[in-house]
Each structure stands twice: as C-alpha cells, then as structure tokens.
Structure 1
Amino acid sequence: MPPCANLPAYLSEEILLHPENRDFPPFDLVRLLGTVFKPTQGCRVCILTDFDEPAGLIKDFNFLQQPGFPVQKKAHEAFYQGLKNGAMKSLGMSGGEMFAYKTTHGSNLDLEDEVWDTNGKQLSLDADIYQKYDLILCISTFSATAPLTAKAKEFGFRGATLHGLNDIILGSGLAVDYEDVSKDAEKLRLALTKADDIEIDFALEDGRVLTAWLGLGGQEAQKSHGLCQGEKPDIANLPAGEVYFVPKDARGHFPMKYEDGTLGVLTVENRNIIKSELISGNQATIDAHNARLADDPMTGTLGELGFGTQVLPVSGADIQDEKVLGTCHLATGRDDHLGGDIVPDMFKKHENSTHDDILFAPHKTPNFNIKQVRMKRGNQREVLIENFRPARYLMDALAGNGGC
C-alpha cells in the first residue's frame, strides 16, 4: 500500500508493521488524568484495586511486602504515589486514597459491596466510595467496566477501569495523547457507523476458511475513545481506542483459542454459540465449553463486535491488545454497559454473567489468520481488514477527507 501523505508518523507503513518501534512520550499521570477527565479542579479521587483477601493485604499496604500482585503494585507505584507526589496538586484534586475489594474472578462481574481501606477498616462501596468520590480509578485483575458503568449512572461519578496494568501499557497505551486517540476513533466510527452487516473470514492452518456473519441492523457505531470529560457520569476503559457494535444477529463459524492452547471451531446461530468442535488440543476443554453452553445458553450470546483504532505494541494484556488497529474481537455475555440488552439477571448463575472478549490478533491467535473483514452499508461494500492489516478504506478514513 503506498504511503498516505496526510497521516501522522504513528500511522506510517513502517510503524504499522512494527508498532514496537513507535516513539512514545514518557508516561505522565498529570497529562493522562488532565486530558481524560477535564475538568479535574475540585474533584475528589480514589483508587480501587482487588485481592482474594483484601482486608489483610491492603492494610498498611502489606501486599507490597508479598510476592506477586504485579497489577496492584503497579497501581500503587504509578497512580497512588503519582497522585500523592504532585499530580493531585497540579490537577486541583483531593483525596488519593486506595481501597481494595474482593477479586471477582470474572470479567465484568458485579463487585461485592465490602471494601477495605489501608487501615484495614471495612467500608461500603455504595455508601463510602461511590457517594463520596468524583473520580474513581479501578486498577484491578479483572475488568470492572460493566459494574462501574452501572454504578456511575446511579451515583453520578466519573472514572476509569485499567485492569491488567503493566509497564508496556504505562509506556505506550497510557502515554499517548487521548485527544488524538479520540479523533482517530471518531474518524473510524464514522467510516463504520450504520453498517448493515460485517463478514469475517478466518483462514485456518489446514486450509479451511470459516466465515462469521454479524447483523448490525444499521445501528450507530460506538467508540471507546478514552475521554470522560465534563460532568456527565461515565467510565473510560483505558487504554482506549476502539469502535464497537452490539450485534443484533450472528451466524456462521469462527475459531476459538482457549486458555490452555486448545483450538476449536464455534458454530453460531441466531447470535448464539451453540457448540464447539475440536481442531487440536484437549477434547476435555471442548467438552467443558459445550457443557457450559448447554447449562446456561446465555454464556454463548454474542454481545460485542469491536475493532481496534490505535497503533500500539503488544502488551500481553487484552485491555491494550484489543485496541490495536488491524485487530478485531468478539465478546460473549453481558453487554448492558455497551448499550445492549444482555443483563446479569438473564444468566442462570451469577458467576456466568461475565463479558468475555475473544481477541483475534497475530500474537494471540497465530494458528489462524483474519483473511478479510468486509462491511455492507446500503449499497456500499468495503474491505476493512486483510491479514490483520487495515485496508485502504480505513486508512483513507484516518487520513481525512483528502484520503491517501
């Protein structure tokens, strides 16, 4: 693809091929929070994190003396200390306390109300946190975007979820200018909005090509762009940089790589995964998934189709890696935080009411390729992605009206 003259350096052909070579400014907590949460003057801020045994580990920051807890330690180092060592003063904020709740062990599961402060005192999220803080930063093991979005609407706060935080994310996905991220996300949102449907072709190593069709019904595309400005209650998911839809229908097949490396083919009908079949690996993993689908069919409902909009290095954490331009992801389960109709009460068991992303990216799924992603919008037909690379249509959109 010839270079696009109207594109910034971070969208050049060379950087698209090797995003690890992109130059990022140093992480700056004042710049990040000041951009994301403008205005910050007069806001009271706190940090939430999670442990299996929060009472003992958060007391006197005991977790800092224990092995493990990399996300929580990074939250303390980059955010807690950063706030206390000048960021709060620079931004006109107060507070800066750190609290811990019990780990949910599932993506976007509702949080228990009990929370503990660094004196070891038990408090209530509803009564002592959500009502008393203007900005809440949740830096945790599992995503809390869905439950915090619901609580933000109920109690009126703003915040951000940053699960899986690590050094790569701090040095790249949280070091960027979120005004630029927002602009790029809006360009791609406009390029995709009101799509009738999306088709994705997956090429497997054995030569098969699987196709998944997702009916979108001409809905407005939404964006996760990192800005949570003004007074309106809202939760930003950071790192941000995504355009997404809530599918109205879906059918076909797509591959799935399970946590143990097992590969399966999933069959989708009427927006629901109805079965998994083994490609390679552990048949017991496939059997367990099929048993879960049979026991609680809502766990197989597709609740999201998302496209990354940023040029970022692989971080090893899906929170960043699903935001990379040229990747796409599906998600099963609850989607009420995305404006969808799948809520926790629809699941047979509380622990099943998760929102689980299925990311398709070269580092994550090297056993199969995104051969092509296509969009239909009225009479318009466009190729969006080929071989995990943004196609000309998306690059033209990023370049602006002049195209490439």
Structure 2
Amino acid sequence: MSTASPALPDYLSEEILLHPENRQFPPFDVVRLLGTVFEPTAGCRVCILTDFDDPAAEIKDMAFVGKPEFPVQNKAYEAVHQALHGGAMDALGMTGGDFFAYKTTHGSNLDLEDEVWDTQGHQLSLDADIYPNYDIILCISTWSATAPLTAKCKEFGFRGATLHGLNDIILNSGLAVNYDEVSADAERIRLAMTKADDVEIDFELEDGRILTAWLGLAQQEAQKSHGLCKGKAPDVANLPAGEVYFVPSDAHGHFPMKYEDGTLGVLTVKDRNIIKSELIEGDQATIDAHNARLADDPMTGTLGELGFGTQVLPVSGADIQDEKVLGTCHLATGRDDHLGGDIVPEMFKKHENSTHDDILFAPHKTPNFNVKEVRMNRGGKQEIIIENFRPSRYIMDALAEGRD
C-alpha cells in the first residue's frame, strides 16, 4: 500500500488505512444524513418500513420496542423514528414519519409481500397505500430489500434508502460520514476502473495454494453505490454506501468460500456459473447441501456482481457496511436486475431462491485466506487494484485526483 499523498484527507492517511477503528466521526445526525442524501427534502413525505415474522402483532402500538430479539427494529425506532418526530422533520421541511411493518422475507433482496401494517394494527397495501403516498421511504430491516424497492421506485416514483442490519457501529461511523465526500471518492475510483476488460483475483489459502478467479467485464461502464439520491428522480440508496461495482459478463476459475457454519470450500466457476463446491475443511454436509442447491436450481450459482469498497470504516459485523471498506472486494450470486443486470426473479426455479447474496472477502470475515492481488486489465494495460487487502498505489493515486 502506498503512503498517502499530502493532498489526501486525514481519513485516507496511512495510519487510518491501517487502523480504521481509530478514525474519528461526528455524532450521528438524522438531519445531516437525510439532508445530504435526499436534497431537497422540503415538502417530502417520509416513512419507515421494517420487518417482522408477525408484523401485525409487533408493530401495533410499537409492541416491539425494547424487545432484545429485535435489535435492528429498535435502532430504527430509537435513532430514526424518534429523531424524525423530535424535530428532524421540521428541520428538513418533511411530513409524515409513519412507521410500517411487512412480513420478513428471510432472504436477501427477495420480493416483499404486499401486505403491510401500521402502528394502529391496520392492514394496508404497499402498492396501494405506501409506495404512491410517500416521497421518501426508509427501509430499516433485517434482510436487504434494495432489489425489490429499486424496482418499485421506478414504478411509483419515490426515493428511498435501505439500511438493513443497522447497529450502533454503523450509526456512529458509516452513517455519520459526509456523503458528498463518499460520493466524490467513489467517483474517483469508478473513473479509475470503468470500462475494464476484465479483473483477476488471486486468493492465497493457508496451505499456500493460489486460487484465481477471472471475471469478464466487457468494457462496461463501472457503477457506484455512493449514497446520494438528490433531486427528484426515483432511486434507492443502499446505506452505508461506498462501492464501485460491475455486472460480470463472464467468469471462470476458482475462489474460496467460507460458509456460515465456518466450513471452507473451493468453488469452481465456468461460464459465469458456480458449478461445484469442494471441501477444504469443516462439514462435508454443508458442501453437499450447496452442491444439491446448485444442481436443483443452477441460477443460484450465477455470478451477478463484482464489487469493491471505497470507504475507510471500522468493521461493523454487518456486511452492508463491511463490504464498503476500501481494500475489500466481494462477489454476489443471484438476481442483479437492481444493478442493471439480466438476472431477474422469474429465472429461478423457486421464489425463495431469487436472492442476491454477497460473498465478502475481508480480513475479519475470511481470515483463512488472503486476497493476495486483484488485477484489472483495461485497454492493453494492467493495473493492480488490491494487494493483501490493501488499496494499491494506483487506487490511492486515483483518490488524490482533483483535490486541492
């Protein structure tokens, strides 16, 4: 990793890059966050959506408040709902502040059921009562709803943000930053990577083996998740933001996978699809279950995203923030229509399979293997993007572009 240029701000200094937990953030402020992300806000009607297995019971009279089994929902209430009603809406010129609950999907980016309940216990319809009647929708949920809300915002014309997995670390770091700065940094990295021909990722295993995954990008325009939904155009931000991403046109090779139970496997990719998993260590039954799922519904193994973090943030324990950390990268399988891709829910054998599942490669998440090097090929020239989970000199130089 290069020594940061004097032109770079403190949060991109060598010391903070090595120890992001030492970065200082201002206190979380709903007015600053929403005012920056959604400018203009005056005249907008805002609401909050969240999820429960039994939404009718838990949202009525705010029955969920204080229950430890609902940490995300309580953060939505404490940090956002109360702040909106404590003066934030007046400061932003907004109205509404209503709280609604829908049934938990139990899958990342699965389409939402239409039924929704208000705090009086009335059953309503997302399509009929929520999407057409609110200008800004904040979805603070257990499971990500970015893909379905992105589709709905185009249909109904609202703006919004998805903040699944919200916790104190995210509130006090990833949501406390200046999103104009986040957007500018993401754009610098986007320009440094856009129209790439392909990317190669070398993974180093503990036994010294190197696995290489190749992802064809076909000179596509790189996209960014930068957190801003300014203006009036329908859009949904994924917060915390800070990411440059591509929809792979092709892929082959191998990459490691750490499953939720700690089992480690090697995944083989051919023609953009994961075709099999093989055990490195752990439970063979976990590998067998994955292979059975791939055989039953091959679309579940289609690679739909390649992403790179662009922010300097502490580890939060939630992928929504941790995949945005500079020096990390991630792949995702499944639907990618919300990213401009061609994989839509109707292509899966079962509705519950039509998820978008991120596979994050980061030191805290995958300590059993190292992202030794990420290389980008563009226009006959090769650039290193990541070295040992650290941004390369090429990326640091890109972040210095255009600064005073």
TM-score, scaled relative to structure 2: 0.99
Q: Which runs of 5+ in 2 are unaligned?
A: none
Structure 1 residue 401, shift from structure 2 partner = 5.4
2:27 paired with 1:62: no
Structure 1 residue 320, shift from structure 2 partner = 0.1
Amino acid aligned to 2:326: L
**Superposed structure 1 runs of 4+ greater than 3 Å apart:** none
Amino acid aligned to 2:187: E
Counterpart in the other structure of 1:128: 129
Q: Specify the SS of the correspondent of 1:337.
A: helix
Amino acid aligned to 2:130: I
Amino acid aligned to 1:240: A
Counterpart in the other structure of 1:175: 176
2:254 paired with 1:227: no
User: 1:126 and 1:210, CA in 2 relative to 1: closer, same or farther beyond 3 A?
Assistant: same
For 1:3 and 1:152, locate their aligned partners in 2 and report how far apart those are by CA, in whole Å: 40
Counterpart in the other structure of 1:400: 401
For 2:272 and 2:104, locate their aligned partners in 1 and report how far apart those are by CA, in whole Å: 30
Counterpart in the other structure of 2:287: 286
Amino acid aligned to 1:250: A
Q: Specify the SS of the correspondent of 2:287.
A: helix
For 1:67 and 1:367, locate their aligned partners in 2 and report how far apart those are by CA, in whole Å: 32
Q: Specify the SS of the correspondent of 1:63.
A: coil
User: Percent identity of the aligned residues?
Assistant: 81
For 1:55 and 1:402, locate their aligned partners in 2 and report how far apart those are by CA, in whole Å: 51
Counterpart in the other structure of 2:371: 370
Q: Which runs of 5+ in 1 are unaligned?
A: none
Amino acid aligned to 1:125: L
2:49 paired with 1:48: yes
For 2:346 and 2:27, locate their aligned partners in 1 and report how far apart those are by CA, in whole Å: 43
2:245 paired with 1:244: yes
Structure 1 residue 32, shift from structure 2 partner = 0.2
Counterpart in the other structure of 2:188: 187
Structural mapping, 1:268-347, within 5 Å? 268-347=269-348
For 1:234 and 1:58, locate their aligned partners in 2 and report how far apart those are by CA, in whole Å: 27
Q: Specify the SS of the correspondent of 1:382.
A: strand
For 2:52 and 2:41, locate their aligned partners in 1 and report how far apart those are by CA, in whole Å: 29
Amino acid aligned to 2:293: R
2:17 paired with 1:16: yes
For 1:64 and 1:41, locate their aligned partners in 2 and report how far apart those are by CA, in whole Å: 29
Amino acid aligned to 1:189: R
- 1:62-119 Cα distance to aligned partner (Å, 9 max, x none): 0114331000000000010010000000000000000000000000000000000000
For 2:369 and 2:248, locate their aligned partners in 1 and report how far apart those are by CA, in whole Å: 23
Q: Specify the SS of the correspondent of 1:64.
A: coil
- 1:233-281 Cα distance to aligned partner (Å, 9 max, x none): 0000000000000000000000000000000000000000000000000
Conserved 8 A contact 2:4-2:396: no
Structure 1 residue 328, shift from structure 2 partner = 0.1
Structure 1 residue 402, shift from structure 2 partner = 8.1
Counterpart in the other structure of 2:262: 261
RMSD (Å) for aligned C-alpha atoms: 0.9
Structural mapping, 1:96-245, within 5 Å? 96-245=97-246
- 1:333-382 Cα distance to aligned partner (Å, 9 max, x none): 00000000000000000000000000000000000000000000012210
Amino acid aligned to 1:207: G
Structure 1 residue 2, shift from structure 2 partner = 3.0
For 2:165 and 2:98, locate their aligned partners in 1 and report how far apart those are by CA, in whole Å: 20
For 1:65 and 1:280, locate their aligned partners in 2 and report how far apart those are by CA, in whole Å: 40
For 1:166 and 1:108, locate their aligned partners in 2 and report how far apart those are by CA, in whole Å: 19
Q: Specify the SS of the correspondent of 1:147.
A: helix
Conserved 8 A contact 2:201-2:373: yes
For 2:37 and 2:11, locate their aligned partners in 1 and report how far apart those are by CA, in whole Å: 21
Amino acid aligned to 2:252: R
For 2:147 and 2:300, locate their aligned partners in 1 and report how far apart those are by CA, in whole Å: 16
Counterpart in the other structure of 1:391: 392
Counterpart in the other structure of 1:3: 4
Conserved 8 A contact 2:8-2:403: no
Structure 1 residue 29, shift from structure 2 partner = 0.4
- 1:150-191 Cα distance to aligned partner (Å, 9 max, x none): 000000000000000000000000000000000000000000
Structure 1 residue 3, shift from structure 2 partner = 3.3
